[in-house]
Amino acid sequence: MNWKKVMVCVFAFSLMGGSVFADSITQKVRVWMNGKEFQDGGYIIDGKTYVPIREFDGVVKFNSDTNKVEFIKPNVHIFLFNGDTVFGNVNKGKLKFNVFCQVDSLSDDVASVKVAITDPSGKVKDIQSQDVSGSQKDNFWFRTYDFTYDFSSAGKYKVGFYIKATKTSDYVLVSQKVITALN
């Protein structure tokens, strides 16, 4: 009967010791980028910091056969045009404009791209999308048609450039430009 108590105590203390050891080499940390906190945070393990790659606004592909993660994030420069004039801030109200995106360093084939605008409350409106051919892979330009948008309230609006890796995947944000609507 005594040996059972000893075994239970040994087992309990070994579990406690293991968790104390694990906590000493693994530390959960809060991660912030551009004023926004990552949902999942990160970890410090043996002095190295690990963060979730999906939080970095790019396309993440995982191949379970090769155990390989591929991260696709081209350079995307977004310019906003009202006629021939480049702008960044607007007054509240309707404005007719178009979005010019210059894309380079796209290292992989993608199915399509799109531009959308998100208002200060988080409501997203698609502006325009386009299928991408293999000839546009590395370096191309995408310009939307002129459209009219109502900046109905003051605040920050985000014009986003999205990539769809395959025809069946979802669009993923890879770049954005902020428009501030003033009173």
Sequence spans of domains, the chain: 24-56, 72-181
Residues 178/79, Cβ–Cβ less than 8 Å:
no
Q: What is the CATH number of domain 72-181?
A: 2.60.40.3880
Residue 150 has pLDDT above 90, yes or no: yes
pLDDT the model gives residue 20: 44
Global confidence as pTM? 0.78
Q: Which helix (H) or strand (E) holds 79?
A: strand 75-82
Q: Is the dihedral of CA 84, 89, 91, 93 positive or negative?
A: positive
Residue pLDDT, tens place only, 81-109: 999 999 999 999 999 999 999 999 888 88
Quickly state the pLDDT bin for 125 (edges 50, 70, 90). very high
Q: Which residue shows structure tokens 């310019």?
A: 79
Strands laid side by side in the 26-29 sheet? 26-29, 42-45, 48-50
The pLDDT mean for the chain works out to: 86
